[in-house]
Structure 1
Amino acid sequence: MYENILLAVDLGHKEAEQRAIDTVVEYARAFGATIHVLNVVPDFGMALVGGFFPEGFEKRALARAHEELNAFVAAVIPAEIPHRTIVGHGGIYREILHWAQETKADLVVMSAHRPELEDYLLGPNAARVVRHARTSVLVVRPAPA
């Protein structure tokens, strides 16, 4: 049923990703799917904003994200499950949609972190991915408290 699953993770909230990771691992085992684990490093948005950071900051941030994502995935995805890591750079929901197409994902999985009042139904990035994705999207909520 699923061959390629894109798992979008936020390395700033690793502990909140565990339920989505468990779900994706079970799906991959059940369907023999490959997991593509994506983390997105946001861009500055405007050149003016980038001027406030030291030269080479984005390049170092991307390198650090690759290292951190590889270490994270090695710790949480069993070695026998086919997987790869991807670090995107830009707008979060746009990068998720881009990589869903690039990886030919037939399922996108992402966590819904504990909502703030203003995005109580679904976070803004998750809502945009659900609205615009050309494939199925599974939003995994945290376990009830």
Structure 2
Amino acid sequence: MYQSIAMPVDLSHTDKLEKALKVTGDLAKLYSSKVYLLAVTASAPSSIAHNLKEFKERLDSYAKAQEGEFGVIFEAVVIPCADPAADMDKSLNHWLHENPVDLVVMASHVPSFKDHIFHSHGSFLASHTDKSILLVR
């Protein structure tokens, strides 16, 4: 049913991804799917990495750890973006349209007042892509 699954990740909040990772890993194992871990980042130094190469190495390491945990292929994909705070949704949406992904699994938060003013990343993708989106709280 699902040959490939994408999961956007934020390496600065990996502690909040456990449920979504479990769902992703379990679905990938069930359907023998490949998982793409997507991370949008700027080329400027950040608290995670000094440059894109180091960021990719950290994401690769995180993907390898998930492979060991779930026994399925996790491929790290870095999506460079000039301003991730402003363009993350568009960058993810562009990547999803350019690549053969059957399902997107995303960690989500409990809605709050600010969600009435600003859309969440999951709601943006659900309304702007033709991919199936599974939000995990």
> TM-score, normalised to structure 2's length?
0.80
Superposed, 1:7-86 pairs within 5 Å as 7-42=7-42, 57=45, 60-78=50-68, 80-86=71-77
Q: Secondary structure at the match of 2:130?
A: coil
88-97 or 29-38: bigger deviation: 88-97
Superposed CA RMSD: 2.6
Query: Aligned pair in 2 of structure 1 residues 32, 23: CA closer, same or farther (>3 Å)?
Result: same
CA distance in 2, matches of 1:7, 1:88: 13
CA distance in 1, matches of 2:119, 2:18: 18
Match of 1:100 among 96, 105, 123: 96
Residue matched to 1:49: none
Q: Is this contact kept in 1: 2:5–2:34, CA < 8 A?
A: yes
1:107-140 CA distance string (max 9 Å, x none): 0111113555302799522221111011100111
1:48-102 CA distance string (max 9 Å, x none): xxxxxxxx75994322321221121222233741221100022211122122223
Residue matched to 2:2: 2
113-122 or 69-78: bigger deviation: 113-122
CA distance in 1, matches of 2:35, 2:100: 11
Residue matched to 1:53: none
- The size of the alignment, in residue pairs, is 129
* Structure exhibiting the larger radius of gyration computed from Cα positions: 1
Query: Aligned pair in 2 of structure 1 residues 14, 65: CA closer, same or farther (>3 Å)?
Result: same
> TM-score, normalised to structure 1's length?
0.76
CA distance in 2, matches of 1:21, 1:12: 15
Question: Which letter does structure 2 place at the counterpart of 1:110?
Answer: M
Q: Is this contact kept in 2: 1:111–1:139, CA < 8 A?
A: yes
Share of identical aligned residues, percent?
25
Unaligned runs of 5+ in 1: 44-55
Unaligned runs of 5+ in 2: 82-86
